[in-house]
Structure 1
Amino acid sequence: MRAVVIALGCAATVLNLSSWANGQDRIADLQTSEKLLWSEVYRDGGSSLYCAKPFSEKGGLFSASPIYTGKQLKRSLRCITDRQCSIMNPRYSYIAADLHNLYPALTRVEQARDNAQFKELGADVPSAFEDIGCELKTAFKAIEPSDRAKGNIARAMFYMHIEYDLPLLGPAAMYKKWHQLDPPDAEEQARNDKIETLQGTRNRFIDDPSLADRLIAD
């Protein structure tokens, strides 16, 4: 079991993740989670993560988008098929179905994102979706979201890292910067409340943003 270092005051204490993490154990099917995302979490509508496009209900234009994608999860767990992953890690199906990892996205954007890793691409890289007014940059196997989405992505990544002992997909310093740039707002806090009622877990980095400052990840 890998350890995570949490800085406490001037000292640093190494905590075993088994005592820090819980994860969810209510929903073990991704399709069920996707249905709950639309019918419960966004029952009254909302806006897509990457492009802030409003929706009132699920339709062909929108898809459930995992921050930590299925392929990235398999790669991190070193397995290939769902069956193999479940044998190697009994928590696999719960990890894959965690609602804190799912956000609404335009289907067009989700297809472009695929399994690209989050990165900072620089000011000289133009948006790939200027035609719809979306500040989303893409490059080969890399993607940089707009500033308004960066904090949500960082906190979801921190959640998956801590709760399930998964590696951060990218530099911790970058995600910390994104977390500070785009702090939790009322919409994200309400989403956290709704997800808790469905799967019994909260994203602690939304409840206490200072936890990210205390996290020293490799």
Structure 2
Amino acid sequence: MEFNVQQLERSNLYQLLVGCILPRPIAWVSTQDLKGACNLAPFSFFNVMSINPPLLGISILKQASERDKDTLANIRLTGELVVNIVSQQLAEAMNASCGAYPADVDEFELAGVAKVQSTTVKPPGVGEAPVRLECTLHQCLTFGHGTGAGNLVLAEVRHIHVAERVWRDGAIDDVALQAVGKLGGDRYSLGQPAFSLSRPEPGLQRG
């Protein structure tokens, strides 16, 4: 199959792209507004962007209403967020939080997860999350106009919480983590079964 992107409807292009790029890690982002009201929502356009400085990239797409999603509005106002990693145990709670709810709805309560106080930022994290990354806003880049336009949040990691149950021999154990990835449509995956490949030795030329 061949596709001319310029000739695709926006919804068809979205389905094609999210069907190509997978599995995508999920950033379950908790924020607060200036009055302290909490918001919790998942985003699968997410990954590590840099180690020095330690930056995460989360793209929050623009809605048809042109209004910023509550997560993005809170990040712009306060400059703070927590990225919670979704384990298999938390998949249904994460899914419950992804609806288009009014700003005054507390998705922590809706999803039935606990708020835990953060160390370096005001927004709470998800108490049950195996990993929580406390972040501040480094930069926000906007691409395009209208529905589907991207707002790339570059978040600088300030503090990381790792649950003892997923820490093995000085590193995070991916088997114990059971991180959930997003596929196309309503489908999700786990990073199992995994396989290993040794990297080429330094100095070897690859033909």
Q: Rg larger in 1 or in 2?
A: 2
Bucket of the pairwise TM-score, normalised by the shorter protein = under 0.3
Structure with the bigger percentage of strand: 2
Structure 2 length-normalised TM: 0.27
Structure with the bigger percentage of helix: 1
Structure 1 length-normalised TM: 0.26
